[in-house]
Amino acid sequence: MDFDRYDHIRPIRWLGSQLALLDQRRLPFTVEFVECHDSHAVSAAIRDLVVRGAPAIGIAAAYGVVLAAAEVTADTGAEALGKLAGAIDELNTSRPTAVNLMWASARMRRVLAVAGRGWRAMIEREARAIEAEDLAANRHMGLLGAELITPGSGVLTHCNTGSLATAGFGTALGVIRAGVAMGRIDKVFASETRPWLQGARLTVWELKEDGIPATLIADGAGAHLMKTGAVQWLIVGADRICANGDVANKIGTYAHAIAARHHGVKVMVVAPSSTVDMATVNGDGIEIELRDPRELLFSGERRAVAEGVEAWNPVFDVTPAGLIDALVTERGVIEHPDRAKMTAVFGDVSSA
C-alpha cells in the first residue's frame, strides 16, 4: 500500500560531514534544524531533547559515532574502537532509559571490531542502514497494527511516536497513519503529554501536516474519553520492552492503560525489535530517568508555582504486560505478551 500521502516529515538528515536534527523544542511554530559537527553536539542534542523518541535517538547516536570517528587517526576499526570508547560512552549516557541508544552504539562497536582499513566507510554505511531499516520496519509495523483495528474505530495516542521520533512514518503513529489510509480509523485523539507537551506540540502538528484530523485532549481527560466510547484502542510506543513484556514509555502511559482496561479499551504497544531488551527481566529493572524539576515548576522562563515548592519529574513509567493486548514489532504481533511468548520471538538472553 502507498503510504507516501501520510509520510512527509524527516527529522534526521545526514549531510556527509555533519548531522542535521530537526529541533523538536521549537515546534510547532518554528521549523529549524540544529547542525551537529561532532559527537559531543549529538550527545547534547539527545540530552536536551532536540531529538527525541527511542528509534530517532538510536539513529542519531549511530551518526554521532561516525562524527566522532572523523577526529580519530587509526589504521583499522579495531584500533579506532579503543579511541572512540569515550565518545560512545558519552552518547550512551545521554538518555539512559531508551534502549535503542545502547543498541545502536553496540551495533557500531561490532562493525568497528571487525573492520579493516575501510572502517570509516563501513561505520557510515552501518549508520545509514540503521536509519533505512527503521523506516522499513515502521511501515511494516503500521500494516500489522492497522490490521488489528476494526473499521470505523477511534484511537487515543500518548506522547509522540511518529516521524519525529523515528526515521519516518512512526511506530504507534505509523499504525494510526496506516489505519487512516486503510479506512480502519475514523477518529484520532492525542493527549497533551505534560510537561514537555509532545502530544500537543508534536503529534497533532505531525497529523495536521499529513492532513489527518486529530483532537487534542488534556492528559487527565483520557479516562473520561474512554468512558464515552469514543475510542476502541489506546496505541502507544515504547522506550524499552522487557523480557516479560513490561513496557517503559512516556510518563502517563501507565495511567492510560489502567483506564483502558477498566473501560474495555484495548492497548497496543508498537516499537521496533531494537526496543526489546531481553536482558532486563521485568519493569523493575528499568532505570527511570528523572529530569530537572524546573520543567514542572516553570512555564518557559516564568515560574508557575510558589517559591519553595518541590517537584518530582520522572520521564517514563512502566506498564505491566498484563495490561497490554497487542505488542507489535516488525517481527510480528504478540497478543497478551508474557515471558514465554517474548522468548519465542526474541530468544532468551536474560542471563547475558
Active site residues: 239
Question: 259's torsion region: left (phi>0), alpha (psi -120 to 50) or beta?
Answer: alpha
CB 252 within 8 A of CB 193: yes
Closest by Cα among 177, 352, 199, 346 to 275: 346
Displacement of CA 23 from its chain's centroid (Å): 16
As a whole number of angstroms, the distance between CA 90 and CA 183 comes to: 45
> Measured between alpha carbons, how far is residue 195 from residues 75, 297, 298, 303, 326 in Å?
47, 10, 10, 14, 27
Residue reference for cell 587517526: 73
Q: For residues 83 and 19, what is the distance between their CA atoms, to the nearest angstrom? A: 21
Structure-block grid coordinates of residue 76: 583499522
The number of angstroms, rounded, from the C-alpha of 182 to the middle of its chain's C-alpha atoms is 24
Q: Which residue has the cell 505491566?
A: 320
* Amino acid symbol at 304: A
Rounded CA-CA distance 43/94 in Å is: 6
Amino acid at 56: A
The answer to whether 243 touches 282, Cβ cutoff 8 Å, is: yes
Q: Closest by alpha carbon to 156, among 220, 209, 207, 222?
A: 222
Q: Report the candidate in 28, 55, 26 with the shortest Cα–Cα distance to residue 190.
A: 28
CA angle 130, 315, 298 (to 5 degrees): 125
HEC profile of 28-48: CCCCCEEEECCHHHHHHHHHC
